[in-house]
Chains A and B, each alone.
Chain A
Amino acid sequence: MKIQVNGAWREVADAQLARALEDLGYGGCVVTTALNGEFVAVQARERTALAEGDRLEVLAPMQGG
């Protein structure tokens, strides 16, 4: 299915968020996620299912003022 990851359309094979993150290359990364504007905690990733057209944000620590 196609979803938007950080604003770019990507094809993901697995609907489960935790596995999709692995497939997208985020394995081992310190990241935090939001799906369609709602925060999804690390513990909830395994029970979170992605659907066609979903908007996924994958954020990490960055410089800030």
Chain B
Amino acid sequence: MLELYGTALKSRLLLGTARYPSPAVLAAAVRAAGCEVVTVALRRESAGERAGQGFWSLIRELGVHVLPNTAGCHSVKEAITTAHMAREVFGTRWIKLEVIGEDDTLQPDVFGLTEAARILCAEGFEVFPYTTEDLVVAERLLQAGCQVLMPWGAPIGSGRGLNNLLGLRALRAHFARVPLIVDAGIGVPSHAAQALELGYDAVLVNTAIAQAGDPVQMATAFAQAVQAGHAAHAAGPIEARDFASPSTPVIGTAFRG
């Protein structure tokens, strides 16, 4: 069973809640996926529209764990203030820490990220840092007090899958006991299955499901892929090789000798 900061979870599929065609479809997708953790954000509330109030009611009705993010923050200061605000509103010590360093790729500013992680961990937050697959950065984040890492697969919303397999493999091998969640860039269920096959503990998916033609069906497909990938990793995949290796026994082959 997956355990994140002491919380045991059956599902290894975490869902973002943005970009769904409607709140009803979001709720149906979360249920179809058997998802137990959803990410949420904070945005400016209009006193007239009160959009956030309805959204918060919907999330509470789903009865899932909430992982607030600091999306859109470009500095340590913004991320820390946002984390404090999120802790108050959502009533959780969990924070998905994003400090964005570059707008075209939404690549994390890993220097700001490690600094913000150090401050927030010291304040008692349970930090889920959105990071790259860089081993040195990962080590710094663990030193800062993070107990979970969320490396990107590819840029957020790109649907490119696991962009740096070698790097992700190295990260998994290097930090065998740290829960690792591939966050960002996953486009189709096979990408999610691949992450789990590599031994990643979970994936976080948003756009690939929310923007699918049928988000509920896609959520189901992702849940199946995640289960299959996890089972495959547990079962011990074979090593890839460069040349053929006959699967049918060679001994007793007719017409030979």
Contacts and interface: CB of A to CB of B under 8 A. Distances in A.
Contact of A37 (B50, B69, B81, B89): B81
B44 A30 contact: no
Contacts, number: 110
Interface string B4-38: 00000000000011111000001000000000000
A65 B56 contact: no
B222 to A, nearest CB: 14
Given A25-B48, A61-B55, A32 B42 contact: yes
B81 A65 contact: no
B66 to A, nearest CB: 8
Q: Which of B48, B52, B55, B68 has the most CB of A within 10 A?
A: B52
A55 B253 CA distance: 82
A6 B45 CA distance: 8
Given A7-B44, A37-B77, A39-B84, A62 B51 contact: yes
Interface string A49-65: 00000000111111111
A42 B87 CA distance: 12
Interface residues of B, number: 40
Contact of B20 (A37, A39, A63): A63
Contact of A63 (B40, B48, B89, B156): B40
Interface string A23-59: 0111001111110011101100000000000000111
A34 B51 CA distance: 19
Contacts of A41: 84, 88
Nearest to B18: A63
Interface string A1-28: 0000011000000000000000011100
Given A41-B84, A60-B50, 11 more contacts: A25-B47, A26-B47, A29-B47, A30-B52, A30-B53, A31-B89, A32-B42, A34-B81, A39-B85, A62-B55, A63-B18
24 contacts: A26-B45, A26-B47, A30-B52, A30-B89, A32-B42, A32-B86, A34-B81, A37-B77, A37-B78, A39-B85, A41-B88, A58-B44, A59-B42, A60-B52, A61-B41, A61-B59, A61-B89, A62-B51, A63-B26, A64-B68, A65-B69, A65-B71, A65-B156, A65-B157
Interface of B: 16-20, 26, 39-48, 50-53, 55-56, 59, 68-69, 71, 77-78, 81, 84-86, 88-90, 156-157, 204, 206-207
Interface of A: 6-7, 24-26, 29-34, 37-39, 41-42, 57-65
